Amino acid sequence: MEGAPLEGSAGNDVTRAPERIDTALVTGAGGGLGLETAVALAESGYRVAAGLRDISRANALLERARVNGAADRILPLQMDVTDAGQIRTAVREAESAFGGIGLLVNNAGFAAGGYTEALPPELWRRQFDVNLFGAVETVRAVLPGMRRRGSGLIVQVGSISGRIGLPGFAAYNASKFALAGWSEALRHELRPLGIDVALVEFGAYRTGIWAKGFAGLPEDTPEDYRPQFRRMLELARRSAERTPDARLAAALIVRLARGRPRRFRYPAGAGVRLALAAHALLPWPLYERLIQAMLRG
């Protein structure tokens, strides 16, 4: 795949994979990173079950895969990760078509922008239903088959927002922090069974997630928060102009799929390692002053 190497890429932290079937289930494959990952895996030789909340997006996915002759290796499936019945049905169909699932990419997610005081409870719940509980249900559905074979890889699509909290991101931060904690426990649960778990922690990529989730604030947001939020939107816009294409992020997932992750966390993306280092190493008062200065512009 063309493009500059991805900062924080897998490199030597991936070893030769155990015997693993080249079949994958990718959730949230209707656009953005999920679509690019499904296509990249198919181009690398995987047979891919592509989970789509909106099955009408299947044509765009297959058209994208057809460019490099990979469309015949993609099976689009109706799969809303907030619907446990759809998850189980999609997994059964994928296992029936492919003989099993060797790789799960838990990608489905969205970002709810807003401040804690004003973000309605139903949006908090939906943030967790999609970003955490949907991933849990999907893992539960694929694990029996992986356990029987004694092999498998689960790639959890996390975020730098699962390590660093920022204003206006509270619900998204909380869901990604929760995903990271669960994923670490899951890795310890499954490692003795021959099943690997890796958490990719991406920074910003051109996927559209921020444009959708941060288009505006809930109407009853107090005016006190609005200047800060406008500054956050401006920072997000500038970041989007500099961010790499989602295909580079998808390429990292393919590299993980083709090997065995020796590490649990894989931070990747422009400036991610620097941001994590600053958060971890700077004295908190200094770090907080830097954040406040950034928000003031």
CB-count burial class (<10 Å; 0-12, 13-18, 19+) for 59: exposed
Which of 172, 205, 225, 266 is labelled catalytic?
A: 172
Structure pTM? 0.89
Residue 6 belongs to some domain of the structure: no
In whole angstroms, what is the distance from residue 260 CA to residue 265 CA?
A: 13
Domain count, the chain: 1
Confirm whether 176 is domain-assigned: yes
Asked whether residue 2 is assigned to any structural domain, the reply reads no
Does 172 qualify as catalytic in the annotation?
A: yes
Element (H, E) at 276: helix 272-281
Residue 5 lies in a domain: no
> What are the pLDDT tens digits along the chain (297 aa)?
333 334 455 555 665 555 668 999 999 999 999 999 999 999 999 999 999 999 999 999 999 999 999 999 999 999 999 999 999 999 999 999 999 999 999 999 999 988 999 999 999 999 999 999 999 999 999 999 999 999 999 999 999 999 999 898 899 999 999 999 999 999 999 999 999 999 999 886 655 555 555 556 677 788 888 888 888 777 776 766 666 678 888 999 999 998 877 899 999 887 889 999 999 999 999 999 999 998 886
Beta strands in 22-169 (DSSP E): 23-26, 47-52, 74-78, 103-106, 152-159
CATH number of 41's domain: 3.40.50.720
Q: What residues make up the domain containing 96?
A: 11-296
| Residue 78 is assigned to a structural domain of this protein | yes
- Tell whether 114 is covered by a domain: yes
